[in-house]
Each structure stands twice: as C-alpha cells, then as structure tokens.
Amino acid sequence: MALVNRLQCLSPSLSSTHFRKPKSVNFHPICSLYYDSSSYSSSPFTEKHSFERYQRDEWLYTNQVEKIACCSFPPDSDSIRQDDIALQLPELKRLLQVLREKRESEGCGGGKCGPGNVFLVGTGPGDPELLTLKAVRVIQNADLLLYDRLVSNEVLDLIGPEGRLLYVGKTAGYHSRTQEEIHELLLSFAEAGATVVRLKGGDPLVFGRGGEEMDFLQQQGIQVKVIPGITAASGIAAELGIPLTHRGVANSVRFLTGHSRKGGADPLFVAENAADTDSTLVLYMGLSTFPSVSQKLIHYGLPPNTPAVAVERGTTPQQRTVSTILRIKFFFFFFPLLRSYFVKAIN
C-alpha cells in the first residue's frame, strides 16, 4: 500500500515494507521541496513551503534542513506532498517508538494505562496574548503538536522544550495532509500514550473541522478535550472597535463560510436568507467568492450601500483593513451598524 495513501502504516502492527518511498523519478531529500522565502517573510503565519516552516519542524528532517537552499525549481504539488511525507516517516516512527518505551518504563505497557489524550486547541486570530491560560499550559506540556497554517508564529514559539511540531496545514491547491491522514496521526500518537495537541487558528469548532476530528477519535476510544479560542469574528471586531450586535441596529450575527465542501464557485446558497439588514454577516475564507456572494446578497435584498469591512491577518502587526460598501464586491464583514461609525465619519 502506498505510503501517502494510508498513515495507518505508523501502526506497529504493520511491516516496514509499508514505509517505501512514493514512486518518483527524481526523489531528492528536501531539495524536491520548493520554497520561496521572499514571498513569505512578512507573514505572521506558516506558509506552505517557507524556509521557516522547515526550520521549525527540523526534527523531522534530520541532517537535511540545510539542503533546502539547493531547491531551484517547483515540482508539482502532489510530488512535493509525497516527498515531504516520505521524508518525515522515519522520524515519526522513531518518536512513536520513544513514546511507547517511555510509557512502558512508567509501568503502562500493554495498554494498562489506556491511551493518551488529544486536545483540540483554538489559538485565536493571531495575537498570542489572546490565548487562554489553559491553552498555554497544554501547548507547553504537549509531546506532539499538529498545527495549521493560520496558527501564528508567536503562538508556536510557546511550545515546551520536549514538544515536537508537525505542520499539517491546508491552503488553496495544496494540502500538506489530507483530513484522513490527520485523523490517523492523531490516533497513532494517542494510542502510543502521547499528549497530542491539535492547534487550530481561531476556535476549533468554528469552521475548523474540529467536530470531524473529535468524532473520529471518540469512535476509536480516544478522549478528546476542546479548548476554545477567540474566533476571527470576535477578535477582529474587538480590534476594530465595532460590536457584532448593537441594540436597535443589529440584533443578530451570522457566521458564513466562503468555501464550499467540494470546491464550488458559490458556496453561499443560503444568500437568500442571509440578506438580512438587521444582522451582521461574517464571511470566513471568502477571497475567491467575493464577487458572486456580493451580487447574490444584493439580488436578495441587501442594499448595495451596506457598509463592509475587509480584514486580512487580523489582530497581528501585519493586519490590513479596507472599509467599503457591498457594491464594491470586496468585503469580509457586513455591518449594518457601520453606518453610525463610518458613514458619519466620511461625511
């Protein structure tokens, strides 16, 4: 069975023949992984092929990190993903073995003490000072931390001396790990008795797929604990000084996703019901669908001059904000109550 298709091969019951390299004509350690440091140097988050990411996860690439700089051309995304996983497997296997031996030395061999715990931890929109105290404690005591792209670099700097980071982020056109592979990683290390932390930007149960991971692990008998984080809507609204609800102006708030499950162009089929002038609408992950969504909301009754705010990298030093109206087709938040905050200021 191909390595990249099933991560159950991390299980000790499977033979080493499962850990073969994926078929590739030109397989080069690390050098097959393309990165462009100039594109990501100002980002507060982990970009998919940034040099910083490989430095942070260098324990997975023993004696190979310094070779990244020899990459000069980008292979296709699937080759990058397969090569990356193949390079990580030896150290992942070694860590699993170390954790099992540690467990046995503590008198917990043979499953006497049960599996380890998995924590789904929300890290907020980016500012590390918005973390909960519980989140910081768990991060500092974890054996393995699987982190997403939108977990800020400053949050990742909080890990303890024994903690190991593993990037499992997703971005448009490139998933470093499939959701199924993430499930198997969480399960394999929890079964080895590890304290496993799944780090997610914002809140793990708000467009974070935390529910899927929780369901999978609980079905396997693994205890899952959720530590909430400040979701982007709350964090950014506070940063801008704009309430999500306001008496007499906005009596409700709705969180909407700009992604469809199967990658369709217009996921907001609920636009007819979402076009409510008395509600604040918050659109997450909506860059590619801005034009179609704005047109639909106007079509279903939202006034074209509805105030809107677009925010990128909210609560970080690199935050960018654009205040506009719905008709411009560029938005992130729709605030009915912004009329009293921005239009008066403009006038």
pLDDT tens column, 73-101: 455 567 778 888 888 889 999 999 999 99
Q: Residue 152: is its pLDDT beyond 60?
A: yes
Q: Would you give the DSSP letter of residue 33?
A: S
* From 21, 93, 285, 329, active-site residue: 285
Q: Residue 237: is its pLDDT beyond 70?
A: yes
Q: What is the mean pLDDT of the chain?
A: 76
* From 93, 170, 266, 329, active-site residue: 170
Q: Residue 142: is its pLDDT beyond 70?
A: yes
Arithmetic mean of pLDDT, 314-338: 66
Q: Residue 72: is its pLDDT beyond 50?
A: no
pLDDT at residue 325, rounded to an integer: 81
Told to judge if 1 belongs to the known catalytic residues of this protein, a careful annotator would answer no
Q: Residue 159: is its pLDDT beyond 60?
A: yes
pLDDT (tens digit, 9 = 90+) per residue, 175-204?
A: 889 999 999 999 999 999 999 999 999 999
**% the chain with pLDDT above 90:** 35
Q: Could you say which of 3.80.30.20, 3.30.1360.230, 3.30.950.10, 3.40.50.300 is the CATH number of the domain covering 233-325? A: 3.30.950.10
Computed over its alpha carbons, how large is the radius of gyration of the chain?
A: 22
pLDDT at residue 333, rounded to an integer: 54
DSSP codes joined into one string, 274-316: H--TTEEEEEES-GGGHHHHHHHHHHTT--TT-EEEEEESTTS
Residue 78 or 337, more confident: 78
Give the pLDDT band of residue 271 (cuts 50, 70, 90).
low
**% the chain with pLDDT above 70:** 70
Please list, residue by residue across 257-289, b when 16 or more beta carbons sit within 10 angstroms of its beta carbon and e when fewer do: bbbeeeeeeebbeebeebbbeebbbbbbbbeeb
Told to judge if 276 belongs to the known catalytic residues of this protein, a careful annotator would answer no
- Domain 85-97+114-230, CATH class in plain words: alpha beta
pLDDT (tens digit, 9 = 90+) per residue, 18-63?
A: 333 333 334 344 444 444 444 445 677 766 666 777 778 888 887 5
- Give this prediction's pTM: 0.77
pLDDT at residue 161, rounded to an integer: 93
Told to judge if 170 belongs to the known catalytic residues of this protein, a careful annotator would answer yes
pLDDT (tens digit, 9 = 90+) per residue, 274-305?
A: 778 888 888 888 766 777 778 888 888 888 88
* From 148, 214, 276, 296, active-site residue: 148
Tokens linked to 194: 């590890």
- Domains of the chain by residue range: 85-97+114-230, 233-325
